[in-house]
Amino acid sequence: MLFLFSASLFIFAGTYLGYFLYIRKNMKKSWELEIDRNFEPKLSILVPVHNEERTIYSKLENIKNILYPKEKVEVIIADDASEDNTLVKVKDFMHKNPDLQIRVIQQNPRAGKSAALNKALKTATSSIVVVSDADTRWPSDILQKALPYLSDSRVGAITGRGINENTVKSWVTETEDVYLQLANFLRLGESKIHSTIRFEGGFCAYKRNAFESFDCETGADDSGTALRIVQNGYRTTLVPEAVFYTSFPSSFVGKFRIKVRRANQLISLWFKCLKLLLKRRLLLPKSIAIPEIILFIFNPVFFFVLVVTGMAIVILNPLSLISLVIFLLVACSLVFARRIFIELFIDNFILLYALVTFIFRRRYVTWER
């Protein structure tokens, strides 16, 4: 039992620490990209919706106020069988804002976000396709900051980083902010090395000739599509200046539901990468793929073994030296790095649960508000 505990702790903590140090080292690298700040192509902005009557009008207002030539923008609402007044709100906005090119593509019966995006993609007329969820908000200069990265012929897609607008609302949102900071740190480092395929639905921009369709296989239309683009020989990067705003649930139940769905999709994505790696067909650098595969697929298992063996050691031998060490490690973590420790514990518990749902073939193809 002591051996299992020690081995699990070494692998679990070693993967995080080793990858963190590797990414920090590469953060100092230059982009080595040819960025044209005057790059201003025509855009097709796709907004996938399902029962978004509370957010869609403000989302369209937000797009209208973006600092970008209106004649170069078309907006396509990809509706996935909404049952509320989403489309009524869209038509009302269209009537009041005839200067903005807006089309609605309806999908019925409901088939999921990726399928709705693919139906809308067939009607897109621009060389750059931008996707944004209806419940996110862009700063007015996001396109001016982000699109120049696509001027480099080697870059096939870019994404932004989400900022939580209600960070201080509860301990749930406070600890989630720790996760976002760590995730963005890793995504930026991976982008400097070559590519990150951890894309976020609040802002993604794709070159139309870099991919055929949005990924429907993993359920992760954003990250799964980024992998497809990497496999087509392009880079996919995080643009650190391109931020968007969103609100994360302040309750643990709300957080659990969202993160389990997302974790299930990312586990599916990294299993796909693992298969490609074993077949020697993965074009994402091994220095990025292998640590991410371990973090999402194997580390949750080591986390489970670590928790179970640690509790067993403390219960069976409460006065032993190793029990004292375990107690001190947990106590010090809670005192000196409470948010990191809590978020690390919660995230790996969620990953473990999502891994079980993935093994039992639970898939999150459709999405909820």
Q: Quote the distance between the C-alpha of residue 243 and its chain's center.
A: 13
Could you read off the pLDDT of 199-220 as tens digits, one per residue? 999 999 999 999 999 998 888 8
Q: Which residues contact 163 (CB under 8 A, 6 or more apart)?
A: 180, 243, 244, 245, 246
Say whether pLDDT at 294 is over 80.
Answer: yes
Query: Rounded to an integer, what distance in angstroms lies between the CA atom of residue 290 and that of residue 274?
Result: 8
Q: Which of 146-160, 164-178, 242-256 has the highest mean pLDDT?
A: 146-160
pLDDT, average across residues 73-87: 95
Please report which confidence band the pLDDT of residue 29 belongs to, taking 50, 70 and 90 as the band edges.
confident
User: CA torsion sign, 255 to 261 to 265 to 268?
Assistant: positive
Domain 1-369: assigned CATH number: 3.90.550.10
Query: Rounded to an integer, what distance in angstroms lies between the CA atom of residue 165 and that of residue 137?
Result: 10
Q: Residue 285 corresponds to which tokens in the numbers above?
A: 């650098």
Say whether pLDDT at 314 is over 70.
Answer: yes
Say whether pLDDT at 368 is over 70.
Answer: no
pLDDT the model gives residue 172: 87
pLDDT above 90 covers a percentage of the chain that reads 79
pLDDT above 70 covers a percentage of the chain that reads 98
pLDDT, average across residues 144-164: 96
Please, what is the end-to-end C-alpha distance for the chain in angstroms? 44
Query: Rounded to an integer, what distance in angstroms lies between the CA atom of residue 100 and that of residue 97?
Result: 6
pLDDT, average across residues 96-110: 94
Least confident among 69-73, 203-207, 333-337:
333-337
pLDDT the model gives residue 220: 85
pLDDT the model gives residue 69: 95
